[in-house]
A = this chain, B = another copy of it.
Amino acid sequence: MGCAPLMASSVSSPLKPRAREIVAAARILLEQEGPEGLSMRRLAERLGVRAPSLYKHLADKGALEAAIISEALAEQADAFEAALSGAADPLAQIGAAYRAFALAHPHLYRLINERPIAREQLVPGVEDRAARALVQAVGGDPDRARAAWAFAHGMVNLELNSRFPPGADLAAAWRQGIDAFRLVDLRGRQHARREPPA
């Protein structure tokens, strides 16, 4: 096993080693302190360096954020693909994976989703990989995949922002949504299976 397969996310990173270190530290800082706490000064401090030095490796803060986002999207895609390959009830699996990722990295999730995305700065194709898994899980219809994505995104967003009332049964709400998107088949889809094969 001396020949580990290269992951796409590693291969496609266009960054030099030092820049990668900086991005890695930035991600840790982000996940610990949130998007507001991610500043060039604080990042430099963590690296034992002065802030201006960072600009020798990354053009500006936007480039730093784009690098973090590219990395995170690739990880998200990995998680979705893993959830899909389990096979039984792919929609529920991918929903669980979506929620798990968001709850495990709430600040990272916010960085990705809370503002318009700078597509030009992302590693090409990384945004589509995650989407592809979702489309597949939902039966191939991109419109329904977007609706299901919106549901999942809305659930974690509302949860992360504490918008649900304190007593709300979120597991039940997730079930309702997953069931809804699994059962609809009036437009010729064939995914009305009620229960995953036991």
> A-side interface residues toward B, CB under 8 Å?
113-117, 131, 141-144, 146-147, 149-155, 157-158, 161-165, 168-170, 172-177, 179-181, 183-184, 186, 194
Contact = CB atoms under 8 A, between A and B. Distances in A.
Complex copy number for this chain = 2
A176 B144 contact: yes
Contact of A173 (B147, B164, B174, B183): B147
B117 A163 contact: yes
A102 to B, nearest CB: 12
Contacts of A184: 176, 179-180, 183-184
Grouping DSSP codes into helix (H, G, I), strand (E, B) and loop, the A interface class, with mixed when no group exceeds half, is helix
Contacts of A194: 186
A176 B180 CA distance: 10
Contacts of A116: 161-163
A163 to B, nearest CB: 6
Contacts of A154: 149-155, 157
A28 B184 CA distance: 42
A172 B162 CA distance: 29
Nearest to A128: B165
A153 B158 contact: yes
Contacts of A172: 143
Of A114, A146, A155, A164, most B-chain CB atoms within 10 Å: A146
